[in-house]
Amino acid sequence: MKKIHQKDYQNSYNSIFVNLMKQPKKQMSDTLFKNINIVGKVSNKKNTTIYLIVAFISIIAIDFCSSYTNLFNNKLRVSSVDPPIPPKSIKEPDHQSKVFLSPIISDTNFVANVVTKVQPAVVEIKVIRTIKTQTYEKSNYPFLQDVFGKVSIKSKKKIERGLGSGFVINPNGQILTNAHVVENADTVKVSFLDGRTFDGKVLGIDPVTDIAVVQIPGTNLPFVKPGNSDFVQPGQWAIAIGNPLGFQRTVTAGIISGIGRSARYLHLSDSYVGIIQTDAAINPGSSGGPLLNVRGEVIGVNSALIPNAQGLGFAIPINIAQKIAQELITKGKVEHPYLGIKVQPNNNSNIFGIRQRGVIINKVVPGSLAEKAGLRVKDAIQEINNQPVNTVDEVLRLIEKNRVGSNLQIQLQRQGQNLQIAVRLEPLPTSSE
């Protein structure tokens, strides 16, 4: 066997470590022992022991450096991609809850901002009206009952006080409110948030839409900016301000829960008015107050509630209210178009059992232009101005869209024949008429 020089096996050990570093960590130990065993056979024990100790120390150092490097790289990778997640056991400081319980200057939201902006233009309206009543009393003298009748009629006067809300629509002191708030009022008192009180004058009322305008003296008054009620959608925020049950300047908030509700179904009008429905609380005394959007623009005039329901309030769309208010300001009254007929849904079916389209005329007002034009009871109206109609509200809406004096082209069926009749719209008769 050839004798190996000291320098040769030292070079062998060097080559062992070079090859060792190229292998995976888990294979280092096996490779190292294998090579040391080979070298140990051709070298003395003393040198083998020294190199063995050095080898073990090298493995430990390599393992430590490799683990530390991987840990450092993992931390860099986590911090660059995902933020560290705090442990769930961390407890909130005790003083944290006290911050939320204590009001601070910045503790406001969009509702508070709207109230701050609009409330100076919202007013409280107090009215006094005289109500005349008649009582029927039996005669105390039976022998006079044969001559003068069994009962006598006596008139009495009753003083009634009412409370409502309203809001200024221009700096010249014109106030929009409900007709039922100021109807038949002897005196009207208007109060502002800052304590100012004015005597109001009713410029006009429109019982059909329940809109009225009150004038107070003054200039440069705060007023509410109108929105566009045609773009109101269910689900959007709504804020109501008024004086319900005498609680002045009450603010409620909710959402628009419905649009286009029938005023006829709610017994507010015999004409078509697409009412806004909201779950913002509206109570007696809130009538006439504004319904607002998140920008503080008025989108409706709070008008009615259903007594036995919860979360159902109704407002007249501001686009309709503004139109009515302008006529009341300029003319003192409003002329609504009137056709002179009453209709009901067509519940008749054809031979296949399919419900027939259109509405049925169940009354023609005597002396009306509809009677003069030739409309008859049991006529089935199918179209008005080339637009199909199948409900009472659709008929009312098409009538309301036209002006007094304009003609409607009505397509109908009468005893199986198709007819077309032109009817001129006349003004809606007043209650006295």
User: For residue 182, what are its two tokens?
Assistant: 């100021």
Sheet holding 174-177, edge to edge: 197-199, 187-191, 122-138, 151-168, 174-177, 211-215, 201-206
Alpha-carbon dihedral sign for residues 325, 328, 330, 335: positive
SS3 label, residue 137: strand
Give the C-alpha separation, 274 to 265, whole Å. 11
Classify domain 122-331 by CATH number: 2.40.10.120
Give the C-alpha separation, 61 to 323, whole Å. 90
Q: Tell me which of 43, 229, 262, 287 is the catalytic residue.
A: 287
**pLDDT per residue as tens, the chain (433 positions):** 444 454 444 555 555 555 555 555 555 555 555 555 554 554 455 555 665 565 556 656 555 555 555 544 554 444 444 444 444 444 444 443 443 444 455 566 889 999 999 999 999 999 999 988 766 565 555 554 555 555 556 677 888 999 999 999 999 999 999 999 999 999 999 999 999 999 999 999 999 999 999 999 988 999 999 999 999 999 999 999 999 887 888 999 999 999 988 877 777 676 778 899 999 988 888 999 999 999 999 999 998 777 777 778 999 999 999 999 999 999 999 999 999 999 998 887 766 767 788 999 999 999 999 999 999 999 999 999 999 999 998 999 899 889 999 999 999 999 889 999 999 999 988 765 5
SS3 label, residue 55: helix
Q: Tell me which of 165, 180, 206, 393 is the catalytic residue.
A: 180
Q: Tell me which of 43, 165, 206, 210 is the catalytic residue.
A: 210
Query: In 169-271, which residue ranges form alpha helices assigned H by DSSP?
Result: 179-182
Is 287 among the residues known to form the active site? yes
**pLDDT of amino acid 55:** 58
Give the C-alpha separation, 6 to 80, whole Å. 52
Is 180 among the residues known to form the active site? yes
Classify domain 337-427 by CATH number: 2.30.42.10
Domains of the chain, residue spans: 6-81, 122-331, 337-427
Give the C-alpha separation, 405 to 169, whole Å. 30
Closest listed residue to residue 333, CA positions, set 251, 219, 428: 428
Give the C-alpha separation, 164 to 244, whole Å. 8
Closest listed residue to residue 59, CA positions, set 39, 33, 38, 29: 29
What is the radius of gyration, based on Cα positions, of the chain?
Answer: 44
The answer to whether 185 touches 128, Cβ cutoff 8 Å, is yes
User: What phi and psi, each to the nearest 5 degrees, are found at residue 215?
Assistant: -105, 135
SS (H, E, C) 119-154: HHHEEEEEEEEEEEEEEEEECCCHHHHHHHCCEEEE
* 392 DSSP assignment: H
